[in-house]
């Protein structure tokens, strides 16, 4: 059925204007003034912004980690994402050493295909890079449309790969047109610091942050950037938390390297002091890399504004406080790392960014959707409002004011990391390929309606580093 969204303020990464959007067969087929189409359902968006649906480039749904499994799976996680204004997620498919890549990908298809309520895709973790993996990789990239590869430089003895694996992954990515993503922390030194802290009897959650200092994130980020230059490849640094890492990315981009970066809402809105909350509550705020001293927040905002960082990922990786975070009672190193963020990513960026004058409306759209679409091979199908693009749209009321809380969120987890935070603006209705998923704040979608997205290879369409974009930034 045709739909026309009327009288909204349409916002893309480039433009802001009042107009109507015609939707046919899930695609935007017209944009104009006073549009009409016989039989079309009319949706009034007066007083609201119409944004392209958010793209969350970093989620962990139904993921085994830290001796347990995330509380949110592809159903609850994508419902919460949709409530929050996100219409596409790209989740991390884990692999184990010796496991055929196709088997790992099939496991992730199995977790997601009958559950997701919005469209989704996968990044592929690379844990080793031997001849078998090298042989299978081109096939996976071509047939599955998985054009981004993830290497962990931390989590020693579980996910961590060595520099040789990272180097060879960058080489393979250059050959195959894939983007290499890194969790950039020096896992070897962290392991040593954690052992020292525990031996000294330091078991509280705050020691998670104290044993992962920003220098170790900056060092790993710089190392990965150097290897990217050496291989003439392309790199995306996930969850950048601090000045030390942002500076390394800025330096690499100044040299003209294809190095990109993401931060997350928790690093923009929370700080290290949260880990000191009494009664083990600090465990709710255990992420890796950890929350940093508050002054880093403005550095990250500057880096987003200047283009040193391009995207915001939720890094959704939720664990209940009761029974899951509590696995680390008496030993901070056993607290499952991660938190529930998928639902509030969009609103926090809008409220803390646009409403507080740190970024413009168009920059907001770029960070929340367009840049990820370009970097991860989804543009222009996703990430913008244009004729021919999927009708993934968010009707957003900028006047709404609400308080984020576990009592009202839709994630299947017993706390909200941003509990009590006031945000301005709210997604009222959300459409995925022209169908309502959220209508007037009520979920009307269905599990299994989300489609798996084959993505294009990394190409020149991705935003290029430019001297101008960093001159006013963090360097």
Residues binding Zn ion (CB under 5 A)? 183, 315
Does the protein bind ligand URP through residue 60 (CB under 6 A)?
yes
- Partner interacting with residue 382 (select from ligand URP, Zn ion, none; CB below 5-8 Å by kind): none
Q: 18 or 158: whose CB is closer to ligand URP? A: 158
Does the protein bind ligand URP through residue 236 (CB under 6 A)?
no
Q: 231 or 341: whose CB is closer to ligand URP? A: 341
Rounded Cα distance, 450 and 390, in Å? 13
Rounded Cα distance, 423 and 434, in Å? 27
Rounded Cα distance, 428 and 406, in Å? 19
Minimal distance, residue 334 CB to ligand URP, in Å: 14
Other beta carbons within 10 angstroms of residue 120's beta carbon come to 26
Rounded Cα distance, 369 and 385, in Å? 11
Contact 347, 354 (CB under 8 A): no
- Partner interacting with residue 84 (select from Zn ion, ligand URP, none; CB below 5-8 Å by kind): none
Q: Is 120 helix (H, G, I), strand (E, B) or coil?
A: strand
Q: Which residues contact 397 (CB under 8 A, 6 or more apart)?
A: 47, 48, 425, 426, 428
Minimal distance, residue 367 CB to ligand URP, in Å: 19
Minimal distance, residue 133 CB to ligand URP, in Å: 21
Does the protein bind ligand URP through residue 283 (CB under 6 A)?
no
Q: 13 or 189: whose CB is closer to Zn ion? A: 189
Q: Is 401 helix (H, G, I), strand (E, B) or coil?
A: strand
Does the protein bind ligand URP through residue 6 (CB under 6 A)?
no
- Partner interacting with residue 337 (select from Zn ion, ligand URP, none; CB below 5-8 Å by kind): ligand URP
Minimal distance, residue 439 CB to Zn ion, in Å: 31
Does the protein bind ligand URP through residue 9 (CB under 6 A)?
no
Q: Which residues contact 106 (CB under 8 A, 6 or more apart)?
A: none
Q: 397 or 414: whose CB is closer to ligand URP? A: 414
Interface with ligand URP in residues 167-196 (CB under 6 A): 183
- Partner interacting with residue 287 (select from Zn ion, ligand URP, none; CB below 5-8 Å by kind): ligand URP
Minimal distance, residue 3 CB to Zn ion, in Å: 35
Does the protein bind ligand URP through residue 205 (CB under 6 A)?
no
Q: 287 or 332: whose CB is closer to ligand URP? A: 287
Q: 153 or 368: whose CB is closer to ligand URP? A: 153
- Choosing from 222, 338, 383, 473, the residue that interacts with ligand URP (CB under 6 A) is 338
Rounded Cα distance, 366 and 384, in Å? 9
Contact 263, 312 (CB under 8 A): yes
Minimal distance, residue 74 CB to ligand URP, in Å: 16
Rounded Cα distance, 440 and 48, in Å? 12
Q: 297 or 318: whose CB is closer to Zn ion? A: 318
Minimal distance, residue 288 CB to Zn ion, in Å: 6
- Choosing from 78, 112, 288, 347, the residue that interacts with ligand URP (CB under 6 A) is 288
Q: What angle do CA 377, 381, 387 make, to 5 degrees?
A: 145
Minimal distance, residue 155 CB to Zn ion, in Å: 8
Locus of tokens 């989740």? 91
- Smallest CA-to-CA distance from 379 within 8, 76, 14, 4 is with 14
Q: How far is residue 352 from each of residues 30, 344, 364, measured CA to CA in Å? A: 32, 11, 11
Minimal distance, residue 441 CB to ligand URP, in Å: 29
Minimal distance, residue 228 CB to Zn ion, in Å: 18
Rounded Cα distance, 449 and 445, in Å? 7
341 phi/psi in degrees, rounded to 5 = -140, -5
Minimal distance, residue 338 CB to Zn ion, in Å: 7
Does the protein bind ligand URP through residue 123 (CB under 6 A)?
no
Helices (H), 51-149: 74-83, 101-112, 131-144
Q: 60 or 292: whose CB is closer to ligand URP? A: 60
Does the protein bind ligand URP through residue 315 (CB under 6 A)?
yes
Does the protein bind ligand URP through residue 122 (CB under 6 A)?
no
Beta partners for residue 258, in sequence order: 234
Contact 56, 342 (CB under 8 A): yes
Q: How far is residue 442 from each of residues 225, 316, 437, 461, measured CA to CA in Å? A: 44, 22, 8, 36
- Give the count of residues interacting with ligand URP (CB under 6 A): 9
Does the protein bind ligand URP through residue 337 (CB under 6 A)?
yes
- Partner interacting with residue 426 (select from ligand URP, Zn ion, none; CB below 5-8 Å by kind): none
Contact 383, 374 (CB under 8 A): yes
Does the protein bind ligand URP through residue 291 (CB under 6 A)?
no
- Smallest CA-to-CA distance from 181 within 221, 141, 215, 150 is with 150
Rounded Cα distance, 440 and 471, in Å? 43
Residues lying near ligand URP in the complex (CB under 6 A) are found at 60, 183, 239, 287-288, 315, 317, 337-338
């Amino acid at each position: 059925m045709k739909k026309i969204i009327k009288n909204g303020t349409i916002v893309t990464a480039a433009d802001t204007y009042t107009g109507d959007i015609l939707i046919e067969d899930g695609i935007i087929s017209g944009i104009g003034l006073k549009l009409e189409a016989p039989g079309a359902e009319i949706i009034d968006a007066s007083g609201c912004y119409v944004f392209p649906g958010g793209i969350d480039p970093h989620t962990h749904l139904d993921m085994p980690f830290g001796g347990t499994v995330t509380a949110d799976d592809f159903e609850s996680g994508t419902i919460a994402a949709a409530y929050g204004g996100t219409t596409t997620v790209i989740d991390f498919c884990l692999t184990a050493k010796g496991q055929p890549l196709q088997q790992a990908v099939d496991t992730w298809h199995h977790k997601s295909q009958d559950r997701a309520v919005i469209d989704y895709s996968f990044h592929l973790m690379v844990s080793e890079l031997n001849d078998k993996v090298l042989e299978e990789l081109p096939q996976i990239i071509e047939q599955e449309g998985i054009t981004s590869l993830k290497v962990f430089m931390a989590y020693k003895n579980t996910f961590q790969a060595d520099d040789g694996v990272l180097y060879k992954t960058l080489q393979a990515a250059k050959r195959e047109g894939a983007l290499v993503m890194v969790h950039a922390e020096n896992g070897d030194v962290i392991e040593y610091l954690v052992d020292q802290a525990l031996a000294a009897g330091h078991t509280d959650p705050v020691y998670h942050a104290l044993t992962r200092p920003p220098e170790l994130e900056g060092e790993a980020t710089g190392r990965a950037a150097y290897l990217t230059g050496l291989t003439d490849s392309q790199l995306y640094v996930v969850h950048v938390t601090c000045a030390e890492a942002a500076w390394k990315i800025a330096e690499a981009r100044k040299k003209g390297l294809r190095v990109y970066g993401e931060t997350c809402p928790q690093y923009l809105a929370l700080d290290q002091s949260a880990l000191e909350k009494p009664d083990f509550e600090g465990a709710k705020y255990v992420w890796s890399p950890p929350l940093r001293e508050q002054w880093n927040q403005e550095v990250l905002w500057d880096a987003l504004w200047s283009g040193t960082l391009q995207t915001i990922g939720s890094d959704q990786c939720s664990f209940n406080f009761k029974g899951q975070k509590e696995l680390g009672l008496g030993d901070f190193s056993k607290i499952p790392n991660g938190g529930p963020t998928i639902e509030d990513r969009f609103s926090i960026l809008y409220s803390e960014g646009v409403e507080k004058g740190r970024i413009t409306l168009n920059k907001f759209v770029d960070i929340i959707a367009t840049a990820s679409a370009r970097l991860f091979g989804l543009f222009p199908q996703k990430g913008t409002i244009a004729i021919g693009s999927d009708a993934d749209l968010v009707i957003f009321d900028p006047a709404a004011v609400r308080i984020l809380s576990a009592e009202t969120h839709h994630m299947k987890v017993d706390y909200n990391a941003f509990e009590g935070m006031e945000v301005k603006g709210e997604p009222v209705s959300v459409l995925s390929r022209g169908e309502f998923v959220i209508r007037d704040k009520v979920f009307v979608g269905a599990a299994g309606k989300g489609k798996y997205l084959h993505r294009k290879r990394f190409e020149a369409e991705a935003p290029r580093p430019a001297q101008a974009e960093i001159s006013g930034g963090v360097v």
